[in-house]
Amino acid sequence: GHLGAVMDAHFSPDGMTIVSGSEDKTIRLWDIAPKKKLQLIGDYMNNITTVQFSPDGTNVASSTNNTIRIWDVSSGRQLHIFEGHKIPIDSICFSSDSTKIASSSTDTIIIWDVLSGKQIFFFNMLFVLDFHLIIFEGHLEAIRSAQFSPDGSRIVSGSKDKTVRLWDVSSGQQLQCLQGHSNLILTVQFSPDGAKIVSGSLDSTIRIWNASSGQQLQCLQLHPDYAPVIQFSSNGTRIISSSHCGIRIWDLSSGKQIQFFQDHLERVTSVQFWPDGTTIVGGSEDKTIHFRDIISGKQLQCLEGHSDAVNCVHLSPDGTKIVSGSEDRTIRLWVSSGASPILSNNKSYLTNPNNARSWKCIWQAGSILSLKGSTWKDSQGLTLSQKSSVKTYGGTF
């Protein structure tokens, strides 16, 4: 397994494979049914910060520092390396049709064509025209967040210049500049139907915008807090925000906060709505994963097992499984103990929040325990430094 902290882990669209990225500079694919590693598909010179499946499940994108690599899932072969950012990349996201990737760093947003590996558009803080690319005038300061619209036709970005901007993917033209925040933007996101945009800022507000007109619809006050993580529910009627102070649930029809949870003892690093919108699951630096019922506010379960901070928690597309990645160098797969662990037909049992107390870890990978007695004779894809680490932990070749 991984020999360093797991920074990111995601399910494939069919929920049967997991991709993980680590500070050990590798990307790994895991088959959850046989509980085994499929292959080592990446080996970097630097730590992996982000990994993501394409929506069609055929490719994986990974980022480290200022480069992005595209990998073929079936063969593990590297298809492209994208180089264009001059400073570390903050985020990457696929378009809904898997044909494009948007990447953002503090000074630029670049749209890449996945098939050809070429840059399509380059959005910068300055206006420049060169022989190959049009670099459009946009944000005046560092870009903090960027995301495709659900249909892939637009990109929304948020910046240190206190603005949220909408861009047309086909032409590269700026469509809207949304102003209202009084401090830098931390995160932006489209609603599932693409009709609204949510933005979170250091000004202690969350703002909801009409994605067509640019009109501000709501301003949600967080004083004295701010929210670096925000997510819409699947039906777009609620949002969840997490911060150092806790997790908040907001009803968008009234603009009111309906719940405030302070279960975790330390910072919440990852939080998600359940597919039906009635439950949330979140991971924290306190080493735990919590389930909460939104209506009652009741804690349904606290999952323990990780021995260090939980960096990421992600639900499978059907809501029947959870994967978590941690500073303890492991990824863990969690399912309900009340049904067949994998490929259960009883999905109503698995996804019913009232049964959340029965969830448990069925396997983990990348254990930090001693490798003493393990044999690595037939292993492939390990660098000299990784082989040295295996020997250090007691493994033999």
Confidence at residue 113, expressed as pLDDT on a 0 to 100 scale:
93
pLDDT in tens, the chain (397 residues): 677 888 888 899 988 888 888 888 888 888 877 555 566 665 556 678 888 999 999 999 998 888 899 999 888 888 999 988 888 888 888 999 999 998 888 777 888 999 999 988 877 654 333 333 434 456 777 777 888 999 989 999 888 889 999 988 888 788 999 999 999 998 899 999 999 999 999 999 999 999 999 999 999 988 677 777 889 999 999 999 887 778 899 999 999 999 988 867 788 888 899 888 888 998 888 899 988 898 888 888 888 889 999 998 988 888 888 899 999 888 888 886 654 333 333 444 344 444 444 677 777 765 443 445 556 565 555 666 566 656 655 667 7
Integer Cα distance of 392 and 384 in angstroms: 12
pLDDT given for residue 339 in this prediction: 42
- Residue 358 is predicted with a pLDDT of 67
Q: In the prediction, which pLDDT does 390 show?
A: 60
Q: What is the pLDDT of residue 268?
A: 83
Looking at residue 226, its pLDDT comes to: 79
Tokens 């323990």 belong to 304
Q: What is the pLDDT of residue 191?
A: 95
Distance CA 208, CA 210 (A): 7
Q: State the pairing for strand pair 119-124/134-136.
A: parallel
Name the strands in the sheet holding 299-303, side by side, starting at the edge strand that comes first in the sequence.
268-273, 279-284, 289-293, 299-303
Q: What is the pLDDT of residue 371?
A: 47
| DSSP string for 179-201 | E--SS-EEEEEE-TTSSEEEEEE
Confidence (pLDDT) at 30: 85
| Beta strands at 322-326 and 268-273: parallel, antiparallel or unpaired | unpaired
294 contacts 280 by C-beta, under 8 angstroms: yes
Q: Look at residue 85 in the predicted model and tell me its pLDDT.
A: 85
Q: pLDDT value at position 357?
A: 45
pLDDT on residue 137:
55
